[in-house]
Chain A
Amino acid sequence: MDLIKSISIAASGLRAESGRMRVIAENLANSDSTSPVPGGDPYRRKVPTFASRFDSDLDAQVVELGRIRRDVAPFRSDYDPGNPSADAKGYVKLPNVNPLVEQMDMREAQRAYEANLNVIGAARRMIARTLDILRG
């Protein structure tokens, strides 16, 4: 039945968006993680990617979380000679995480999640309508 399939497709969207949320949470949590060794590289921002895959059981394009890439943007740098992670000149490399960007990505993931939930709700109501025929 197609309605059950559409619930499964929307569920693939939910899974992908929640995976994206996980990556965003990782980025935000590590937004100040510096290197354990002096002068080393700090945490590098992760970028989730989406890819659509043809599911032959569902006969539809479902979405999947693709490979998680690393952001190549340069690190921030701060003058803090007392910091254990500082290099010889006293500069500390900080992660290339911008909280504002993460915040926006989070909103987007939230909206997409809600949209998929709405689709599931609509499909469920349609199934309920079909069962209502039986009540007569």
Chain B
Amino acid sequence: MAFADMPLVGMLKTRMRWLEARQKVLSENVANAETPGYRQRDLKSLDFKHLVAGGDSTGAVVPMRTNPMHISVGPTDVRFGADRERTFETTPDGNSVVMEDEMMKVAETQQDYQLATMLYGKSLSLLKMAVRRG
């Protein structure tokens, strides 16, 4: 079993990919914070229950490995659905980006990403501990 096939690692990878995609959407929001008519966007949050149940929350079609000779093909271009949120403030020019909100989300995404990478590192060291000779 490859390291990447472990459910925990797979979940962490999905999470990291989601956080990356979210950071991209947030940077769009911040860059367009003064563009007339721009509507603020965010990603739909990941469904943890679905992830635990082994489902692919991204809804992407993943090729199955039916033969050990197959090279495992992971989802390379995963797309997460973007969502328009209701914000409490829309300027007269139709822009609904609230800068404070966006900065909070950027910081939050960064922290979550750090958490995911740390957990990834920890699970790696757990494996290392298991294979080390006693």
Using CB atoms and an 8 Å cutoff, list the residues of chain A in contact with chain B.
1-3, 5-7, 9-10, 12-13, 16, 49-52, 60-63, 108, 111-112, 115-116, 118-119, 122-123, 125-126, 129-130, 132-133, 136
Contact = CB atoms under 8 A, between A and B. Distances in A.
Contacts of A118: 30, 103, 106
Q: Is the interface of A mostly helix, strand, loop or mixed?
A: helix
B117 A129 contact: yes
Interface in B1-42: 16-17, 19-21, 23-28, 30-36, 38
Contact of A133 (B20, B102, B121): B121
Q: Size range of the interface on B?
A: 20 to 34
Among B20, B36, B121, B125, the one with the most A-chain Cβ atoms within 10 Å of its Cβ is B20
A9 B103 contact: no
Given A52-B35, A111-B99, 6 more contacts: A6-B27, A7-B27, A13-B33, A50-B32, A61-B31, A61-B32
A112 B107 CA distance: 16
Contact of A122 (B109, B121, B125): B109
20 contacts: A2-B24, A6-B20, A6-B23, A6-B24, A6-B27, A9-B31, A52-B38, A61-B32, A111-B99, A112-B34, A118-B103, A119-B26, A119-B30, A125-B110, A126-B19, A126-B113, A129-B117, A132-B121, A133-B124, A136-B125
B27 A133 contact: no
